[in-house]
Amino acid sequence: MSLARVQFFSISLDGFGTGEGLSHKAPFGHAGGRLHQWQFATQWWRKNAGQPGGSNGIDNAFVQLHDRGIGAEIMGAGKYGFPGWHEDPEWKGWWGPNPPFHTPVFVLTHHTRPSIEMEGGTTFHFIDASPAEALEKARKAADGKDVRIGGGVTIIRDFLAARLVDHLHVVVVPILLGRGVRLWDGLEGLEKDYQTEATSSPSGVTHVTFSRLST
């Protein structure tokens, strides 16, 4: 069965998945890189960036699940680009010529455009669809594999609210951002459909997983 999975989505202790003041130069606004330092410090991440060393414990175990068994990603317009990217016909995402997805990627946007084929197996498709419609499309493209719900915050919240997520992995970073976009709004009682598990890492973050109870 093809699952819809959220892999290592970082939030602050006060629940923000990104900061305030997003722009081309500040993809996470005033949060800067603070939500993702734990991830940049892992061996897997550093290896992908051509750097030696890195942590090789629980954080590194979790980040490696990013690609495992994934056949497609769904992301929001806010992950694909800065506010206003749709006015730039040359914008092809943040990730350079060879993005780290290596699968079809469905970008949810009201400003659709023709698909863009990148190096390394990533193709960006731009669709204006509901979460359920997008998931159906992505599942077909994933050919039996799982679909990653890649973010940003509002997309993950929308998919959770629509009860479409089978596996949610959030990483709680012990900082208080104070402002930005909250992940948990409007999700009262979400945990009732899931088995949850929390595991703290020596890096300071806590991995919290929600796995849907079979019904």
Contacting residues toward a copy of itself, per CB under 8 A: 13-15, 172, 174-179, 184-191, 196-200, 204-206, 208
With respect to a copy of itself, which residue has the nearer C-beta, 82 or 184? 184
Query: Minimum distance between the CB of residue 174 and a copy of itself, rounded to whole angstroms?
Result: 4
User: Rounded to an integer, what distance in angstroms lies between the CA atom of residue 22 and that of residue 59?
Assistant: 27
Closest CB 24 distance from a copy of itself, rounded Å: 24
- Phi-psi category of 186—alpha, beta or left, where left has phi over 0 and alpha has psi -120 to 50? left
Smaller CB distance to a copy of itself: residue 144 or 204?
Answer: 204
Find where tokens 């550093």 sit. Answer: 46
CA 182/CA 17 separation, integer angstroms: 6
Nearest to 160 by CA among 136, 179, 119, 132: 132
Whichever of 121 and 186 has its CB closer to a copy of itself, that residue is 186
**Among candidate residues 167, 125, 128, 118, the one with its CA nearest the CA of residue 147:** 167
- In the complex, minimum distance from the CB of residue 91 to a copy of itself, in angstroms, rounded to a whole number: 31
> Are the C-beta atoms of 107 and 125 separated by less than 8 Å?
yes
Output the smallest distance, CB 133 to a copy of itself, in A: 26
CA dihedral (75, 78, 82, 86) in degrees, to 10, reads 80
Q: Which is nearer to a copy of itself, 22 or 141 (CB)?
A: 22
Long-range Cβ pairs for the range 118-122 (8 Å, 24+) = 118/92, 118/93, 122/98
Q: Which is nearer to a copy of itself, 26 or 116 (CB)?
A: 26
Considering the complex, state which of residue 11 and residue 149 has its C-beta at the smaller distance from a copy of itself: 11
Whole-number minimum distance, CB 46 to a copy of itself, in Å?
23
CB of 157 to a copy of itself, least distance (A): 11
Helix (H) or strand (E) holding 45: helix 43-48
* Strands (DSSP E) found in 38-90: 70-76
